[in-house]
Amino acid sequence: MGTVWFVLIAGLFTGYFVLEGFDFGVGALVRVLGRDERSRATVVGTIGPVWDGNEVWLITAAGAMFAAFPMWYATLLSGFYLPMLAILLALIGRGVAFEFRGKRDEPWWRARWDAVIAVGSLVPAFLWGLVFANIVRGVPLSADHEYAGGLGDLLSPYALLGGLAFLVVFVTHGAYFVALKTDGPVRSRANALGRRLGPVAVVLLATFLAGAGTGLLAAAAGIVLLGAVVANRFGREGWAFAGTAAAIALTVAALFVTLHPAVLPSTSDPAGTLTVANAASAPYTLKIMTWVAAVFAPVVLLYQGWTYWVFRKRLAA
């Protein structure tokens, strides 16, 4: 059952990064693609009905990790306390900004909240890459599975590369989403930006995954992302967005496959490595969780799919 829940948590993070990935990208591009208030409102409107639903994937993933692998959850959140706190604060500020930017009409008011949206999108996008790079490469853990390093241990060149790769891929993903969901000048600017960012995203993601040693899934992620860039060049917006979504999903899958059977490797004391076996909850707990997930997960997926269907049309300023 431990392996089953490891796979389920991997699936939850995959859904989160695919959906919140374009969310972050759109948030970062509000003032880049929006040259006036009407066009900025259009950019924000592309994710207005879905951004909070996308964040539920993270809440569910964290809850599942807490219940299924409490030792993994505890060590991860204590060792990565500062990056996780920064992610949380950025998400809080971002959520407030979405709600408050339309409360007043003054340009300075909306400009400030747009800046909060941008920062609240860029910071988590970068830090999630940093966090997952450290999870895959490993961190210093003592024999009793306690984090034994400092903040500097989380800022290795590879971790910073992971942060930059996630950031650029998410912004590219967001540009393709805006191109798919809008019309007029905003759509043109999003396509143009996607053409510039796409090749950079391919290089960064390929370099990051090569450093993780993730094999066939990593190669597939790079190929699919390259296909998305080509589709964008030919104006196939749906295929471009589907390509970045698939590339992100394959990337997360590759990282979790590389990680298994560990959930958090130790770079200092091999006895400190957390694995699916020594970090999992009791079998009875996992059994109850499985039944709950089997009942409620399809309902949540159907509801969120219906939401995207209802708000599927393009927007124009």
CATH number of 2-310: 1.20.1630
Q: Confirm if 205 and 226 have CB atoms less than 8 A apart.
A: no
Q: Where are the domains of the chain?
A: 2-310
Between CA 94 and CA 113 the distance in angstroms is 8
- In order along its 317 residues, the chain shows pLDDT tens digits of 778 889 999 999 999 999 999 999 999 999 999 888 898 999 999 998 888 888 889 988 998 898 889 999 999 988 899 999 999 999 999 999 999 998 888 888 999 999 999 999 999 999 999 999 999 998 999 888 888 888 888 999 999 999 999 999 999 999 999 999 998 899 999 999 999 999 999 999 999 998 887 788 889 999 999 999 999 999 899 999 999 999 999 999 999 999 989 999 988 878 888 889 888 888 878 888 888 888 888 888 888 888 888 888 888 76
SS3 196: helix
- Kind of pairing, strands 262-264 and 274-275? antiparallel
Q: What is the pTM of this model?
A: 0.93
